[in-house]
Amino acid sequence: MSCLLFAVLPQCSHADDAPLFIPQWLGAQYTFVDQNQSRVHSPYAGPLSLKPDGSTARSHTFGAYFGIALPWHFQYYWDVEMFKGEGVSNATGLGGLTNGDIIRSGVASLGKRPYVARNYLRWVLPLGDETNEVERGQDQLPGHEAIKHIEVKIGLMAANDDFDKNRYANATRTQFMNWSLWNNTTWDFASDTRGYTDGVMIGWMMKGWTLRYGIYRMPVEANGQALVKSLSASSGQQLELTLQPKPDGWALRFLGYYNKGNLGIYQQAIEIAQLTGQVPDIHADDAPDRHKFGFGINGELPVADNGDTGFFMRAGWNDGHTESFIFAEVDRLLSGGFQLSGAHWQRSDDRLGVGIAIEGLSRDHAQYLQMGGDGFLLGDGGLRYGPEQIAEVYYSIAVINHLTISPDLQFIRNPGYNRDRGPARFAGLRAHVQF
C-alpha cells in the first residue's frame, strides 16, 4: 500500500518501511526453563521459605508480537503471551528469585490461558532530519527514525520496557535469569502480578542523552492482579536520565521512582504486634495515600568484540519504610558482572555471563520478618538477618539460527536474608527460540 492512497491526509508517515494500516508480525518466542534447587539447611521454615528438601520446576513462556504503522508518526503494538509451569519452591523464599520468566505466571487463579501483555499506541515527533535505521523486533517496527525526537507511549505495557535497561543484563530469556541481575529489584515498579500495567511514558531523546518519565496504575493490593481505576488515587512514577555520548559506547542511567498507594508501614505493623502479642501483619496495616520512593544507577561498559564483550553494574536503594508491594522484597542492591563473547574460542554467537549481587533489607523490614511477619515473597517464621548474596554463571550456546540453549548455575548464601538457612544451589537449563 503506497502513500498515494493517503494523499488526502495532511501527512503520510515515512518513519517505517511497513505499509500503513497493515499489521506486521514482529516476532515470536518460546522459552523453556528446567531448574533444580538443592536441599537447604533449614532449622526452621515458614510458609514462604525455600523448600528444605529441594525442588524441581519447569516453566514455559510463549509470545507473539505485532505492530501497525499509522499516519502522522503513530504506531500501534499488540502482544499476546502465555505462561505454563511454575518456579522452584513456588517462586518464594528469596529476594532475588532464580527464574525471571516466572513473573509472567501471575497468581494461580489466573490460569494458564493466553493473555494480552501489551496493547499501546506510540507516537514519535522528529526534532531533526538525521535518522538511523530501526530493525524489526519485538515492539519495534522496521524503518528509519529521527535520532532526535520526542516519544509518547500510552496504553498497556511494562514499565521496565523503557526504564532500567542494560545491554548485558536485561533479558531473562537470553541473559541472566536471577531477578537481581536482569533488573534493579529495589525498584518496586507499578504492575499487575504478570508485570504489566496501564500508563503513559514520555521520552526526550537527544544525541548523547535521553530523559524519560513514566506514570502507571498501581495494583489495588500487594502483588495483586487488579489495578486501581484512577492515577490520581494511586500511581507509580519514575524519571530516568541516560547518558551515552556514543551510540555503542558506555552508558549511565540514573533512575528515581515514587509510588503512592494503599501501602503498609513496617514499624506500625510491628508496634501493633507488640501491643497485641500477635505476629505482625503488614497487609492489615495497608492504608491509602502512603508513599514509597527509591533511586537506582545502572551502567554498561563495552570493551571488545563490537560491544559483545563488556561489563555492567547496578546499585539501588529504597526507603524500606513502607512495604515491598509489587516486584521483589529488596531494599538495598549492588550487582555487577560481565558478558564475554564466544568469538575468543571461534563461537562468535555464544555468550558467557558471570554476575554477582548483594541485597539487603531496611532495619524495619528485617525486624518485621524476625518477628514472624510475612511479605508476599518472604516469610521463614523468624530471621537471623544477613545480606542475601547471589552468584550466577550462564553459557548461551547458539545451536542453530533462532535457537539458543543455556546451562545456568546459581549459588545463594543467606536465602531470604536468613543466616540460619542455606546456602542454596540452583542448576538450570534454558532453551530459547526466537523468530
Q: What is the reported pLDDT for 224? A: 86
pLDDT band at 230 (very low <50, low <70, confident <90, very high): confident
Beta strand 332-341 with 351-360 is antiparallel
Reported as a single tens digit per residue, the pLDDT across 140-199 is: 999 999 999 999 999 999 999 999 999 999 999 999 999 999 999 999 999 999 999 999
Burial letters 168-199, b for 16+ CB under 10 A, else e = bbbebbbbbbbbbbbbbbbbbbbbbbbbbbbb
Q: What is the reported pLDDT for 108? A: 57
Half-sphere exposure of 342 (CA within 13 A, CB side): 13
Reported as a single tens digit per residue, the pLDDT across 291-329 is: 999 999 999 999 999 999 999 999 999 999 999 999 999
Cell numbers describing residue 416: 531470604
Q: What is the reported pLDDT for 320? A: 95
Spatial CA neighbour of 408 closest among 183, 210, 185, 172: 172
Q: What is the reported pLDDT for 223? A: 85
pLDDT band at 17 (very low <50, low <70, confident <90, very high): low
Cell numbers describing residue 259: 509510588
Q: What is the reported pLDDT for 9? A: 30
Would you say 399 and 348 are in contact if contact means Cβ atoms under 8 Å apart? no
Before 43, cis peptide (omega within 30)?
Answer: no
Q: What is the reported pLDDT for 274? A: 94
pLDDT band at 18 (very low <50, low <70, confident <90, very high): low
Half-sphere exposure of 121 (CA within 13 A, CB side): 7
Higher pLDDT, 20 or 356: 356
Map residue 416 onto helix, strand or coil.
helix
Map residue 43 onto helix, strand or coil.
coil
Please report, as a single letter, which amino acid is at residue 188. Answer: D
Q: Which residues contact 315 (CB under 8 A, 6 or more apart)?
A: 296, 297, 333, 334, 335
Say which range, 18-27, 144-153, 264-273, 334-343, has the weakest mean pLDDT. Answer: 18-27
Q: What is the reported pLDDT for 382? A: 95
Reported as a single tens digit per residue, the pLDDT across 65-112 is: 999 999 999 999 999 999 999 999 999 999 999 999 988 776 656 778
Q: Which residues contact 114 (CB under 8 A, 6 or more apart)?
A: 62, 80, 81, 82
pLDDT at 370 over 50: yes
Q: Which residues contact 389 (CB under 8 A, 6 or more apart)?
A: 356, 357, 358, 412, 413, 414
Reported as a single tens digit per residue, the pLDDT across 117-136 is: 999 999 999 999 999 999 99
Q: What is the reported pLDDT for 232? A: 84
Reported as a single tens digit per residue, the pLDDT across 23-65 is: 999 999 999 999 999 999 999 999 999 999 999 999 999 999 9
Q: What is the pTM of this model?
A: 0.92
Helix axes 266-276, 363-370, angle to 10 degrees: 30
User: CB pairs under 8 A, 24+ apart, for 39-43?
Assistant: 40/415, 40/421, 40/422, 40/423, 40/424, 41/421, 41/422, 41/423, 42/421, 43/420, 43/421
Burial of 316 (0-12, 13-18, 19+ CB in 10 A): buried
Strands (E), 86-185: 115-126, 131-134, 143-146, 149-157
Residue 222, number of CB atoms within 10 A of its CB: 18
Q: What is the reported pLDDT for 15? A: 42
Question: What is the average pLDDT score of the chain?
Answer: 92
Q: What is the reported pLDDT for 16? A: 43
Reported as a single tens digit per residue, the pLDDT across 392-420 is: 999 999 999 999 999 999 999 999 999 99
Cell numbers describing residue 248: 555503542
pLDDT band at 14 (very low <50, low <70, confident <90, very high): very low
Would you say 402 and 30 are in contact if contact means Cβ atoms under 8 Å apart? no
